[in-house]
Structure 1
Amino acid sequence: ELLTLRREIAELRDVLILMKKSGYQMRMPERKYRLLKMLTGISIREEFALRLCEKAEDMDSLLEILSKEIRTVDPGGSSKMVLLFGPTGSGKTSTIIKLASQAIKRGERIAIISLDSYKMGGAEQVRAYTRILNIPFARVFDADETKRALSRFNNIDRVFIDTAGRHPSDRRYLDQLKRLCRSDLPIETHLIMSASSDNDFLTESYRYYKEMDIDCLGFTKLDESVNRGCIYNLSLIYSRPIAYLTTGQRIPNDILFPDSRTVARLILENNDNKIRPNKGVSQ
């Protein structure tokens, strides 16, 4: 199904330029045109929006289609080590504290490693939270030190690894992460992106992050986002499931572990609506 989806998207990209020249919007049925304008208005890429309009007749059917195309997954699973990475300002540190707090609630023994050789403040922020949570903490500066730190946590159920926020084009940063992820360690990788970031920047980041072995996606700052179409765009571009969404600054509360329908609803709903858990969402 993913191969079929990618082929359809590639074909639409090629056709879109020709369609624009022929004034395709003027020939669309009114209800389809309204759907198209709504989808592009929430920052869903035009080729993706056209594909959705071909299949959907109204908002109800659109919600059903999105629910089927968006995949979600339970974060962590059986992996002992969970690494979060992503652009500067994406909210990795606060997210990792929320995830650690949720794991502690489940009765797991947790440790946190800060792989941050760039920003002293980031590591100290994590250290402060680990003291509050009374869990082990280690600060490391490269992949080799990370492996040595992990060897000290044999009695821990899950180790969360926080990383520095860097621009995705930073080659040194990516190479360091790739060395760690492609080692023999059972690490699950979460790409963290802010839903409030520029949609073009997030899409462009794919050029660099596609080199990584990404297991799932996490989207932060939904409470600050004007449009949430980037969530749909990136779930298709990366072909990876969504593990969680964060919706505010409160730790550990403002994090959702939604099902696909809830993600679709949050993408389509008016941004003025309050984000709140419903059926299929856990906190």
Structure 2
Amino acid sequence: MKMKRYTADTMVNAMKKVRVDFGEDAIILSSNVVYSKGFLGLFKKKSVEVVAGFDEPISKKIEPIHSQPSFPVEAINTSTMELKKEMDEMKKMLKNIRPSTEYSRYPDEMQQLLVHLQTQDLNENTITKIGEEIYSRMKIEKKDFSNEEQQEIVREILLNEIGHNPFGGISFTKKYINVLGPTGVGKTTTIAKIAARALLEKKKKIGFITTDTYRIAAIEQLRTYANLLQAPVEIVYNKKDFESALEKFSELDLVFIDTAGRNYKETKFVEDLIQLVDFSLDMESFLVLSMTSKEEDMRTIVQQFRSFPIEKYIFTKMDETGSIGPMFNLISEFNIGVAYLTDGQEVPEDITEADAEKLILMLLKDPRYA
């Protein structure tokens, strides 16, 4: 049996390669989803690896009677029938592998793009809009579009969807930087990254306030970062403590507020935060979400924070996800832009200011920027 390993972005494309080499008689020996580091190390690239084989025809050759081994006729017949049955099933399976029927009316090149967007978990309505727009333009111009031409249309549509929202880091026009979000998303480390850059690159005088009095480890973590940056830190337990901290930090340029990491699916914790932090201050507020969370869970959190003046999202753990479609879905649904993306624990290295164009290139995995 001849065997060969194939790698492609989708199973459909892998099967096309198999058919070119082995035809419809190929046997799929194994298939796996594999990941490799992607663009700027921000997420892992997902691909499909297939091992296929092909039984070469056995040429008929008359051997001398004395050289032929002796086997019962029944055993030969049974073995041959079982092998033929297995091969027939494999061939049937191979022929049945087809692109998703919802995209089958589009040209093959379009199907590849749309399936890719689907694997990235982009909203199905958005994918349909993209598919219809590309197909409509193809019919008007009476030609198929190249991959680059299709990607340019995707860029136009997605920029129209999300481009009107604000993108980029803190403005440096407001004194208080308030970072909100549930437990476990990396708020404290993210605050340290932003603060370190403000100190090192902008030469700002900075300080920290933490309301996370529920976890000793969180307080110690912030204190460690504050000591490294030679910045003051205040722990507040109530409204009076918060007002006192503001007075102590009156001479500073920027004050970073690390709010408690709680289960904000519970309304009580949201109400407690409103009572503690004065959101009428000269303040920018950011909502931190982890890309390892389920999209529906992130959506619930965003809805719980709708009463807060959220400026932009901060998406963490970009290096731990294989799809970034949910990010686009949340931006579009709630009309909230993105300030930063983080992809590791190093301070202040593992953080990047967000840009709408770059996010789209990440989604498409444009090879020019790989």
Secondary structure in structure 1 of the residue aligned to 2:310? coil
Distance 1:49 1:168 in 2: 31
Distance 2:208 2:353 in 1: 21
Within the alignment, does 1:194 sit opposite 2:286 as a pair? no
My pick for the range that moved more, 109-118 or 173-182, is 173-182
Secondary structure in structure 1 of the residue aligned to 2:214? coil
1:163 to 235, 251, 259: 259
Within the alignment, does 1:65 sit opposite 2:157 as a pair? yes
Which residue in the other structure is 1:52 paired with? Answer: 130
1:53 to 1:179, Cα distance in 2 relative to 1, 3 A? farther
2:227 to 103, 111, 131: 131
What 5-or-longer segments of structure 2 have no aligned partner?
A: 1-99, 136-149
1:160 to 1:269, Cα distance in 2 relative to 1, 3 A? same
Within the alignment, does 1:35 sit opposite 2:113 as a pair? yes
What TM-score do you get using the length of structure 2 for normalisation? 0.62
Q: What is the CA distance between 1:198 and its match in structure 2?
A: 1.6
Distance 1:176 1:56 in 2: 49
Secondary structure in structure 2 of the residue aligned to 1:150? helix
Which residue in the other structure is 2:36 paired with? Answer: none
**Count, aligned residues:** 251
1:147 to 223, 243, 249: 243
Which residue in the other structure is 1:229 paired with? Answer: 325
1:26 to 1:125, Cα distance in 2 relative to 1, 3 A? closer
Distance 1:48 1:264 in 2: 13
Q: What is the CA distance between 1:24 and its match in structure 2?
A: 7.9
Distance 1:240 1:189 in 2: 12
1:223-273 residue CA offsets vs partner (Å, 9 max, x unmatched): 111211111111112211211111211111111113211122223328xx9
> Is 2:209–2:257's contact at 8 Å kept on the other side of the alignment?
yes
**Superposed counterparts of 1:1-283, under 5 Å:** 25=102, 28-30=105-107, 31-56=109-134, 58-68=150-160, 69-70=162-163, 71=165, 72-105=167-200, 106-180=202-276, 183-269=279-365
Secondary structure in structure 2 of the residue aligned to 1:148? helix
Distance 2:116 2:351 in 1: 27
Q: What is the CA distance between 1:212 and its match in structure 2?
A: 2.0
> Is 2:212–2:258's contact at 8 Å kept on the other side of the alignment?
yes
What TM-score do you get using the length of structure 1 for normalisation? 0.80
1:227 to 1:144, Cα distance in 2 relative to 1, 3 A? farther
My pick for the range that moved more, 189-198 or 94-103, is 189-198
Q: Which has the higher contact order (CA 8 A, sep 6+)?
A: 1
Which residue in the other structure is 2:24 paired with? Answer: none
**Which has a greater percent of strand?**
2
Larger Rg: 2
> Is 1:67–1:263's contact at 8 Å kept on the other side of the alignment?
no
My pick for the range that moved more, 90-99 or 36-45, is 36-45
Which residue in the other structure is 1:5 paired with? Answer: none
Q: What is the CA distance between 1:183 and its match in structure 2?
A: 4.3
1:161 to 1:24, Cα distance in 2 relative to 1, 3 A? same
Name the % identity: 28
1:146-194 residue CA offsets vs partner (Å, 9 max, x unmatched): 2221121011000000112222212232113334566431221100111
Q: What code does the residue aligned with 2:327 have?
A: I
